[in-house]
Structure 1
Amino acid sequence: MDKIIGFIGCGNMTKAMIGGIIKSNLVNPKNLIISDIHKKNLDFVSNKYNVKTVNDNKELAKKSDIIVLAIKPNIYNLVIDEIKDFVKKDVIIVTIAAGKSINNVEIEFGKDIKIVRTMPNTPVFVGEGMTGICYNDKISKEELEEVVGIFKCFGKTEIIDEKLMDVVVSTSGSSPAYVFMFIEAMADAAVLDGMSRDKAYKMAAQSVLGAAKMVLETGKHPGELKDMVCSPGGTTIEAVISLEEDAFRASVIKAMRKCTQKSKEMAKTTI
């Protein structure tokens, strides 16, 4: 890709995305521009990745073909108001903020503009992210492929209807937290039974990683894979029954639905 990609905001997500983009050789580092109010963040990416940095969002807007708004939702209106008169005519705006609808961003720009709304998650930091993507009717097939190509540099992607973006938040955006809690609980149990903490975390985390890969790579239903582990009268089915008695699956479903509802409520407050 020979387009100039600009990132407004240089937090952890931006750093992870830049790392993935450069590692994949998608673009030359000289085609990346990053702006941020914190000089130490800019110095970090400049020194590590040899990318161009600026402290002026308007300068970035003038030069960028694709602009990623990697900022907090509560300052979107301020940043958009700052750059809207300086962006290129055919610029593609990529958002990564929960609760910011495409319509909301269109209104804030106050003109026809190409928008791709995305929701990546924190595993992008290790190249295993999951990103839900939707877009407005001004984005061409080729432009969509370009944006999808960016996010494929650090994980997997899925095109979804925007009405499902709140579900994406609970299914992949927030879900790493649930998995971390599960791993921690597994490790706590192992420690309780005498295993060292470091070994417990490693064994629990690798088991979760391996189980997830089996779902993705075998194409088998998770229930079928679960049944493969549950020998008659064995240890696994004993644990599964205990989890069912404590409403394990119902608790997960309830938590995710609360997460989805919260995302919907956040969207209402930003419109």
Structure 2
Amino acid sequence: MKPPAATADRDALRWGFIGSGRMASALVKGMIRAGVATPDRIVASDPQAGTRDELAREAGIAVHASNSPVVEASDAIVLAVKPQSMASVLAEIAPMLAPRHLIVSIAAGVGIGAMRAALGASTRIVRVMPNTPALLGEGASAYALGPDATDADAQAVQRFLDSVGRSVRVPESQLDAVTGLSGSGPAFVYMVIEALSDGGVRAGLPRDVATTLAAQTVLGAAKMVLETGLHPGALKDQVTSPGGTTIAGVQVLERAALRGALIDAVDAAARRSAELAGPARP
């Protein structure tokens, strides 16, 4: 069943969040900051009183103890609950859903097919994989559309995700790869930053100086990739002078198989994501 014309206007959507943890809070605040929705058009729920009070105070939205007010007041419902809680939440909200509702899930490992089975085959569903830097407005997110989701739904979700970083649309079959890359990737980058900082300390820098320089170097290098559009290899070559310091370091990294280790890490995380999601797949 396709949505009524009124919900096709992404700016008119009323958003609801079932679950108000850190990621949901980041998304709510990002939406408000970016003008995707005003506080009066966002509502949320959470079983924890402290979490409810904090989000209500910081974002200026209504936050309820139960889920039914969220379903009633929303056009797009973001499921921001833990995967182990998803089955009970889906069973609870299924009888309350109307054709206007778009379901956006950020729960890892719960496939679109499983959600359609619980909510009805015609339910418009978008599955999202965000990552933790969304908490600072620098998230890398991917989303996949269910069979009945529309182009207007895709535009609304992309605008929603872009309020806390950057997003890309992928087939659902690629979400495990996304998990391995941008979902687990921050941990790999933190290890790189820590190692660079250790190198700075080894070379004689104080720890705080070394960590600041390491983190800012990674941030700056990432922005160079995103804003210039150049291949990372081309940017690497721009820093690598003949017979200079950088090529000496690059040689060490190549001997240590840094690139191979990172490729293997992403691959291992993606495969583990698929293993963990197995029981939830349709």
Report 1:153-164 matches (<5 A). Answer: 153-164=163-174
CA distance in 2, matches of 1:257, 1:142: 33
Please state whether the residue corresponding to 2:196 is helix, strand or coil.
Answer: helix
Q: Which consecutive unaligned segments of at least 5 residues does structure 2 have?
A: 1-10
Please state whether the residue corresponding to 1:88 is helix, strand or coil.
Answer: coil
Q: CA deviation at 1:62?
A: 2.0
Which residue is equivalent to 2:28? 18
Which residue is equivalent to 2:5? none
Please state whether the residue corresponding to 2:43 is helix, strand or coil.
Answer: strand
Deviations 1:214-270 (A, max 9, x none): 111112111111111111111111111111111111111111110010111112122
Q: CA deviation at 1:50?
A: 1.1
CA distance in 2, matches of 1:143, 1:231: 48
Moved more, 42-51 or 108-117: 108-117
Moved more, 96-105 or 114-123: 96-105
Report 1:31-180 matches (<5 A). Answer: 31-180=41-190
Matched, 1:7 2:17: yes
CA distance in 2, matches of 1:89, 1:270: 25
Please state whether the residue corresponding to 2:267 is helix, strand or coil.
Answer: helix
Q: Which has the higher contact order (CA 8 A, sep 6+)?
A: 2
Please state whether the residue corresponding to 1:18 is helix, strand or coil.
Answer: helix
Q: CA deviation at 1:183?
A: 0.3
Aligned Cα RMSD in Å? 1.2
Deviations 1:98-155 (A, max 9, x none): 2111111111224420000111111111111111111012112112211111111111
Kept in 2: contact 1:13–1:125 (CA 8 A) = yes
Moved more, 189-198 or 33-42: 189-198
Q: Tell me which of 258, 267, 270 is aligned to 2:277.
A: 267
Residue correspondences, number: 271
Matched, 1:181 2:188: no
Matched to 1:127, the amino acid is G
Kept in 2: contact 1:230–1:237 (CA 8 A) = yes
- Could you tell me the percent identity over the aligned residues? 38
Kept in 2: contact 1:130–1:157 (CA 8 A) = yes
CA distance in 1, matches of 2:110, 2:258: 32
Scaled by the length of structure 2, the TM-score of the pair is: 0.93
Please state whether the residue corresponding to 2:12 is helix, strand or coil.
Answer: coil
Matched to 1:199, the amino acid is V
Q: CA deviation at 1:207?
A: 0.7
Matched to 2:162, the amino acid is K
Matched, 1:192 2:185: no
CA distance in 2, matches of 1:19, 1:59: 20
Matched to 1:80, the amino acid is L
Q: CA deviation at 1:63?
A: 2.0
Please state whether the residue corresponding to 2:147 is helix, strand or coil.
Answer: coil
Matched to 2:131, the amino acid is N
Matched to 2:142, the amino acid is G
Please state whether the residue corresponding to 2:168 is helix, strand or coil.
Answer: strand
Q: Tell me which of 193, 205, 211 is aligned to 2:221.
A: 211
Matched, 1:246 2:246: no
